Structure 1
Amino acid sequence: MSDQCSGGCDHIHTHTKHAPIDNHTCHCSVCKNVTGQDTTHVVFYNHGDVVADNEAGMNRQPFNANNPDGPLELCTCGTCGAPIMLDDKQHRIRVIVPNLMGYGDQIGAASYHAFYDPATGTPKPSDGRPVYAALRPDFVWPQSS
């Protein structure tokens, strides 16, 4: 996997400057509600490591409708509505969902499952990757930039 890859849409282009700091398959209800997917491949980068060429052209809305004052904003193209990235208002991370944000298979596969909750009735993943109730135990949130 290259440390640099690119995505976005025809109106807003993004690229990464370094390797991700986290790469997981998310099972949380917020990702399910926003993406419509049963699970979502989610990749965290340090905030300064995802660059957009037209941030002024993005619309921003809360990522979690149940927590509109939360730190994450879903950034979409103001022209075509395509999802571009999740931006952290605290400037710690930027998040890419490769299959929805124009990155395709440029980013390697997720290394673990996050936010799995057996109470949902969904069978526990059995693909050999670790499964956690939250982010991986050794994940440390970066400092605000």
Structure 2
Amino acid sequence: MSKKYAGGCGHIHTHSSNDPIDNHTCHCSVCKRVTGQESTHVVFFNHRDLTVDNLEGLDRQPFNDQNPDGPLELCTCATCGTPIMLDDKQRRIRAIVPNLMGHDPESLPPTYHAFFDESTGAPRPDDGRPVYAGLRPDFVWPPSM
């Protein structure tokens, strides 16, 4: 099976031969806090579609330190500390941030802006992509596995 999308670090590799189910530029406060970026390119894959070759080599911590019991865990390489993916404890999705997790951002272009909050005073994105206060309206979370 081909590996259409691949990333990770020198110790842990992720890959998928299936297309992502969502691909957006995130403007949420959690992504800003975790990445230090003003906006973050985020890609969701169905949980079963993003394969990890060394799950035992991952360190896991809550993605949102203000909600440590939330569903997402930030997985980093236990050897070098590189962020590898976000893993959903409910096994619905696995998410990557291409520019931080070894994937090619150009092969996974975002299609819209998510979690944009006008009250922050940030300028509204004007790159022609739709802008939403949450995920795109037609997004449906996959069932838990």
Q: Which TM-score bucket, shorter chain as reference?
A: over 0.9
* Displacement after TM superposition at 1:3 (Å): 7.5
Give structure 1 regions of 4+ aligned residues with deviation exceeding 4 angstroms. none
The CA deviation string for residues 34-93 of structure 1, in whole angstroms up to 9 with x for no partner, is 001000000000000111110000000000000000000000000000000000000000
For residue 87 of structure 1, what is the aligned residue in structure 2?
A: 87
What do you get for the CA RMSD once the two structures are aligned?
Answer: 1.3
* Displacement after TM superposition at 1:106 (Å): 5.1
How far apart, in 1, do the equivalents of 2:107 and 2:47 lie?
Answer: 17
How far apart, in 2, do the equivalents of 1:111 and 1:24 lie?
Answer: 6
Letter in 2 for 1:137: P
How far apart, in 2, do the equivalents of 1:121 and 1:52 lie?
Answer: 39
TM-score (normalised: structure 1): 0.96
For residue 119 of structure 2, what is the aligned residue in structure 1?
A: 119
For residue 130 of structure 2, what is the aligned residue in structure 1?
A: 130
For residue 30 of structure 1, what is the aligned residue in structure 2?
A: 30
How far apart, in 2, do the equivalents of 1:54 and 1:108 lie?
Answer: 23
Letter in 2 for 1:122: A
TM-score (normalised: structure 2): 0.96
Q: Which ranges of structure 2 fall in alignment gaps of 5 or more residues?
A: none
Q: How does 1:1-145 map to 2 (within 5 A)?
A: 4-105=4-105, 107-145=107-145
Report sequence identity in percent.
69
Aligned length: 144
- Is the 1:62–1:73 contact (alpha carbons within 8 Å) kept by the matching residues of 2? yes
Q: Secondary structure at the match of 1:90?
A: coil
